[in-house]
């Protein structure tokens, strides 16, 4: 069952400040701040330079992080691709948190996103798959990945990713959970903590005081 939001949930989050939720962005942009986008891109490039392979992103929305990851694949190991999985219809369910209701991020469609990717000159390195990750994972054209970026906000898809994607990550690869430790995504943190030991999670703390996201070396 999804984790439900409550002030007494007992989940210990280490945020240093509250973040105002961003409801929408333009195509090709991302809701995460620029410094976190750079950290994500740098981490992906670091991993790909050591372990060449495909990348999977679960939770694409308007494609800002997908485009960044595709640039890293193009520059570091252009024989591979980024596989972007999303409903492209918004959240299919919710965890009971007011910031992430069912249907949030529905102002997107796969055709417009493909056009942006084409304008960026990245179509060769991107394949979009529409659907819930738990429904489409077994049919993905790639079965092995060097880097995974999980940005689903909610307990159900993140628990699925935490459970099912690691066996498909190459040795030396990384699975990166964007929402880990975020005060708006309690279900995301719960899902990761149910699968991985705290000692295995490298929490991302940046100079602006934000302390959410975490990655696991595999």
Over residues 134-151, the pLDDT tens digits come to 999 999 999 999 999 999
- For residue 21, what pLDDT is reported? 66
Would 23 be classed as within a structural domain? no
- Residue 159, both tokens: 């628990």
Residue 80 sits at φ, ψ, to 5 deg, of -110, 180
Reported as a single tens digit per residue, the pLDDT across 82-112 is 999 999 999 899 888 877 889 888 999 999 9
Runs of H (alpha helix) within the chain = 34-50, 64-76, 110-119, 133-136, 155-164, 186-195
How large is the C-alpha radius of gyration of the chain?
Answer: 16
Compute how many other C-beta atoms are within 10 angstroms of the C-beta atom of residue 98.
9
CA angle centred on 111, ends 105 and 112, rounded to 5°: 65
Q: Which domain holds residue 184?
A: 34-217
Assigned domain for 202 exists: yes
**Domain count along the chain:** 1
**Residues 21, 126: Cα–Cα separation, whole Å:** 28
Residue 108 lies inside a defined structural domain of this protein: yes
Q: Does 21 fall in a domain?
A: no
Tell me whether residue 110 is exposed, middle or buried, using C-beta atoms within 10 angstroms of its C-beta: 0 to 12, 13 to 18, 19 or more. middle
Structure tokens at 109: 């469609």
Does any domain span residue 11?
Answer: no
**In this structure, what DSSP letter does residue 188 have?**
H
Question: How far is residue 150's CA from residue 110's CA, in Å, rounded to a whole number?
Answer: 18
Instruction: Determine, yes or no, domain membership for 80.
Output: yes
Which CATH number characterizes residue 92's domain? 3.40.50.150
Residue 204 lies inside a defined structural domain of this protein? yes
Does a structural domain hold residue 26? Answer: no
How do residues 11-44 score in pLDDT, each as one tens digit? 333 434 445 666 777 777 787 788 889 999 999 9
């Amino acid at each position: 069952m999804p984790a439900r939001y409550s002030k007494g949930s007992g989940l210990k989050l280490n945020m240093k400040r509250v973040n105002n939720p961003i409801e929408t962005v333009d195509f090709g942009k991302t809701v995460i701040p620029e410094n976190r986008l750079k950290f994500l891109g740098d981490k992906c490039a670091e991993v790909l330079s050591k372990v060449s392979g495909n990348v999977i992103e679960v939770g694409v929305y308007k494609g800002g992080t997908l485009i960044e990851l595709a640039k890293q694949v193009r520059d570091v190991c252009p024989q591979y691709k980024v596989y972007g999985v999303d409903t492209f219809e918004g959240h299919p369910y919710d965890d009971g948190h007011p910031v992430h209701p069912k249907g949030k991020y529905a102002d997107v469609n796969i055709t417009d996103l493909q056009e942006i990717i084409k304008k960026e000159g990245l179509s060769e390195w991107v394949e979009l798959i529409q659907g819930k990750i738990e429904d489409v994972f077994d049919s993905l054209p790639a079965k092995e990945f060097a880097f995974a970026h999980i940005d689903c906000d909610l307990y159900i898809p993140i628990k699925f990713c935490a459970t099912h994607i690691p066996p498909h990550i190459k040795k030396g690869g990384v699975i990166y959970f964007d929402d880990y430790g975020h005060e708006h995504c309690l279900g995301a943190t719960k899902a990761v903590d149910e699968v991985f030991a705290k000692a295995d999670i490298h929490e991302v703390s940046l100079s602006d005081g934000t302390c959410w996201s975490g990655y696991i070396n595999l």
